[in-house]
Amino acid sequence: MDSQNVTEFGSFLSKLSPESVDTILQDVEYVYISNGKDPRLAGVGSLMAVPLPIIVAQKPGSMVVADPDISEYLPQESSISNKNRMQMNSYDVTQGSPLKMQEYADLSDIESPVAFQVNKEHFFKTSLTKLGIPFNKTKVVASLYSLASDGKSWPPILIFSDGQDRKHTSCLMLSREEQCLKSTVIKVSCPEPKNVHFPKIHNMKTAEKQMKYKARYDMMGKLLQEIISNEQDFAGSLVVEIKWSKPICTAVLQSPPLESQAHILAQVMSGDERSTAHGFYRELEMLRSFVNGLETGEILWLADEGNTPILEQLKMLIERLKLGDAAKTEKEPPQNEMSEVLGLDTLSFDRRKDLDFTDHLWNILIQCTSYSELEEALKYVFAVLSNGEFYPMVHRKNNTVIAQLVREACAGKLRMPNLAGGIYAIQLLAEIGLEKLRQDYVHAFLSTELVVLGNIESFVQTEEPLSQRLASLEKLHHVIEMSVMLGMFLKLSMQTLNSVAIQMLKYYENNSVNEKHLFDFPVPTSQIKSMIENCAPCLWQMEFSKPVQNATETTKIVLAEENPFPHVGWSSASENVPETGSEDFRDRLYYVIRLEDRVSVL
């Protein structure tokens, strides 16, 4: 199936009277789309599965491009039969009228200063507001398509309407399915004060078994908007989605029953300073710099902030170690006050107490500001060890080179390593950093009873290459960051957090860290009842359907705070609508989107 279908459609229209063709061409442009990521399909895709490929009928000139200012580089016309048709950006589209197809070149290789200053999201949104054609043309195009596609295996057609009709039609889709023609109409009602546009669903007569409901809550965007300012948004996304079929709802926005199953859809990005795992993150970032530097030769050293000189800190450490009181030489990490600021429970981690000599050494040496300073510090440590002045403790399972040198020193067999030239000192530092953080993460998981040792054993192996061990620690850190976020915003029980952590660990057994991956955690609705009771849903949906021959007619009513069809009305419920003056979530303003299927048996 290719854009030849559009050509056939154009051929059909050309057989009509010239006046009819000219009228249609004046207001309608046809696009063949086979890429589901095309922005024009996003609104429909949020309500139903969009069949691909699909023909789109839209207002002429409303093609979504990354930069409208580069249109001067685009060819105005070309032949539909050109076999070397090029694609624009990553979208598989061919655009134009049915009789005169336009083609758009791939401009990704053009070094235009304009192209590098494009705000794609802004232009996508701007272009999408211009998609709709007049409603009377929508009906004409639908009628012509139903005639032209009769008896043919054509893809569906999606016709964007400008919503200026009485029922605010945003789009109409037609498709042929086994001896029937199916039409789907989507209408959008913009928010009104006191939500007078809400449908009265208690009058709808539907069989109980046909009903489906869905509520979606944006926990980070709405729940804590009064506590966290826009400049302090937590790094991630957290949505709770709940689906149920019983009991039957008698009004829109009715709360889901506690017996239903909820799904937590979550992403988290490491590095938020208010996370109780931020201390781990800081050390992990330094460790990543050292491990990667072994391959690239580039190290991101800390800036000199006037701290106590490294050698002086080492001398203080050694004196304390001789007295058996090394802990006093190190500053306690700043306490994270996130839970107090938010007034929420959160997962916290106690500092590991059983630090050995290489752990203390890591805490000091990561403050080095250059390779020469690191080399000088290590030479001093090895000199002290060789003199037999003290015999520090290292853990039995600590197999780093420095730990082995300590054991040799205790046995009087220390061989001084050669640090001159190369990056051997970096390797020694990376080794003790990996060992310390390995122990830190094990302690964090076990002390909080988040998981048992068997769950993380494969992630804390010491026989693997340094880069692979680092990757394993990054996976453990992402699990901890997620657990912190869910504990903070949803007050999940430790039992539920345990299930979350185990699910993520199983995922990471075969996958690398991807902070954009959306995790789906099933939890009983009763577990999050207290958090959603006073939280407005960002989306509420009801759906019912009935069979017609070999097809199904579906009706959906969706209440949403954001408009999925920006070419009808305005894009956000906060725009152009008077404030209610109430902070009650029941007074929030919603778009009402209604999707209705109709099946015509042929």
584-589 average pLDDT score: 64
Residue 19 is encoded by which pair of tokens?
């006046």
Structure-model confidence comparison of residues 455 and 108, the more confident one:
455
**Predicted pLDDT at 417:** 86
- CA-nearest of 534, 538, 546 to 562 is 538
Percent of the chain's residues with pLDDT above 70: 75
- CA-nearest of 324, 326, 297, 16 to 141 is 16
32-56 average pLDDT score: 92
C-alpha to C-alpha distance for 254 and 198, rounded to whole angstroms: 13
Q: List, for residues 146-183, the tens digit of each pLDDT value.
A: 988 888 888 999 999 999 999 999 999 999 887 889 99
Percent of the chain's residues with pLDDT above 90: 52
3-state secondary structure of 595: strand
| DSSP H or E segment with residue 216 | strand 212-218
**Predicted pLDDT at 70:** 27
C-alpha to C-alpha distance for 435 and 430, rounded to whole angstroms: 9
C-alpha to C-alpha distance for 126 and 364, rounded to whole angstroms: 53
274-301 average pLDDT score: 92
316-343 average pLDDT score: 61
Which residues lie below 8 Å from residue 343, measured CB to CB, with a gap of 6+?
227
**Predicted pLDDT at 111:** 35
**Predicted pLDDT at 378:** 95
**Predicted pLDDT at 483:** 96
Per-residue DSSP letter, 335: P
DSSP H helices in 411-460 = 424-447, 453-456
Q: Which of 56-65, 378-387, 587-596 comes out lowest in average pLDDT? A: 56-65
Cis bond before residue 522 (omega within 30° of 0): no
Please say whether the beta carbons of 342 and 397 come within 8 A: no
C-alpha to C-alpha distance for 420 and 442, rounded to whole angstroms: 35
123 pLDDT more than 70: no
**Predicted pLDDT at 13:** 65
Residue type, 304: D
99 pLDDT more than 70: no
Per-residue DSSP letter, 404: H
What is the pLDDT of the chain when averaged over all its residues? 80
Scanning the structure block, which residue is given the tokens 């701007």?
A: 126
510-524 average pLDDT score: 95
C-alpha to C-alpha distance for 130 and 370, rounded to whole angstroms: 57
Per-residue DSSP letter, 421: S
523 pLDDT more than 70: yes
C-alpha distances in Å from residue 227, one per residue of 120, 224, 338, 344? 31, 5, 11, 11
Q: Which of 113-117, 215-219, 322-326 comes out lowest in average pLDDT? A: 113-117
DSSP H helices in 225-307 = 278-296
**Predicted pLDDT at 360:** 96
Scanning the structure block, which residue is given the tokens 């657990």?
A: 483
251-255 average pLDDT score: 90
**Predicted pLDDT at 206:** 59
| DSSP H or E segment with residue 186 | strand 180-189
**Predicted pLDDT at 1:** 44
Q: How confident is the model at residue 400 (pLDDT cuts 50, 70, 90)?
A: very high
Highest average pLDDT, of 27-41, 240-254, 328-342, 498-512, comes from: 498-512
Q: List, for residues 343-360, the tens digit of each pLDDT value.
A: 345 688 988 999 999 999
100 pLDDT more than 70: no
Please say whether the beta carbons of 33 and 3 come within 8 A: no
**Predicted pLDDT at 287:** 97
Structure-model confidence comparison of residues 501 and 130, the more confident one:
501
Cis bond before residue 247 (omega within 30° of 0): yes
C-beta neighbour count of 7 within 10 angstroms: 17
20 pLDDT more than 80: no
The overall pTM is greater than 0.85: no
Q: List, for residues 201-234, the tens digit of each pLDDT value.
A: 766 665 555 789 999 999 887 444 433 334 445 6
**Predicted pLDDT at 126:** 57
- CA-nearest of 171, 216, 139, 209 to 58 is 171
Structure-model confidence comparison of residues 108 and 540, the more confident one:
540
105 pLDDT more than 50: no
- CA-nearest of 496, 511, 402 to 459 is 511
Q: Which of 73-77, 133-137, 251-255, 403-407 comes out lowest in average pLDDT? A: 73-77
Structure-model confidence comparison of residues 390 and 17, the more confident one:
390
Task: Give the helix, strand, coil percentages of the chain, each rounded to 5.
Answer: 40, 15, 45
185 pLDDT more than 90: yes
Exposure string of 309-324, with b = 16+ CB inside 10 Å and e = fewer, is ebeebbebbbebbeee
Residue 196 is encoded by which pair of tokens?
């007078």
Highest average pLDDT, of 19-33, 417-431, 435-449, comes from: 435-449
Which residues lie below 8 Å from residue 283, measured CB to CB, with a gap of 6+?
366, 433, 436, 437, 440
118 pLDDT more than 90: no
322 pLDDT more than 50: yes
C-alpha to C-alpha distance for 376 and 310, rounded to whole angstroms: 9
C-alpha distances in Å from residue 114, one per residue of 34, 39, 61, 111, 385? 28, 21, 20, 9, 62
334 pLDDT more than 70: no
Q: How confident is the model at residue 188 (pLDDT cuts 50, 70, 90)?
A: very high
Q: List, for residues 54-66, the tens digit of each pLDDT value.
A: 999 999 877 654 4
Indicate left, alpha or beta for 392 from its phi (over 0: left) and psi (-120 to 50: alpha): beta
